[in-house]
Amino acid sequence: MAGAVHIAVPLLDMKRYHKLLAGASWMAEYGDPDTDDWEEFLYKYSPYHNIDAKRDNYPNVLLTTSTRDDRVHPAHARKMVKKLWDLGEGKNWSVFYYENIEGGHGGAADSKQEAFMTSLSYDFMWRALTSTIPKNE
């Protein structure tokens, strides 16, 4: 298992993706969750729906998104963080979240923000992989 994962501007809830922002335009590519597509294949790769609550360990996770992402709604990241926090209470994984209030689908509005997001990710990875990141207690 990986020691750390950075998930940036993610599409995670495949049951409701088509109800948020540009999601409806992706149904030809991903499938329609309001049809048999959900049971046949979408459920199998919907990260939000495949978190295993019985696991005691998951990698350290940093989720980042942008409030102004006009493609993938920030609700995907927000919901995933909430679910991981709730399921991870008292378990051995840490979940961190950063939402840039500017930017777009790339997560940053300019070079300064991009540099910040990159350093945030590298700092998280370094701390997670060298075991200097706090764990849930």
Other CB atoms within 10 A of residue 131 CB:
9
Distance separating alpha carbons of residues 97 and 60, to the nearest angstrom:
11
Q: Between the CA atoms of 83, 33, 54 and 58, what dihedral angle is there, to the nearest 10 degrees?
A: -60
Distance separating alpha carbons of residues 11 and 47, to the nearest angstrom:
9
Distance separating alpha carbons of residues 64 and 54, to the nearest angstrom:
25
Q: pLDDT 10s digit of each residue in the chain, 137 long? A: 588 999 999 999 999 999 998 989 999 999 999 999 999 999 999 999 999 989 888 899 999 999 988 888 999 999 999 999 999 888 878 899 999 988 777 767 789 999 999 999 999 999 999 988 766 55
Joined together, the tokens standing for residue 43 give 């459920």
- pLDDT value of residue 136: 59
- Residue entry with tokens 């997560």: 107
H/E/C letters for each residue in 66-87? ECCCCCCCCHHHHHHHHHHHHH
User: Does an H or E element contain 120, and which?
Assistant: helix 111-129
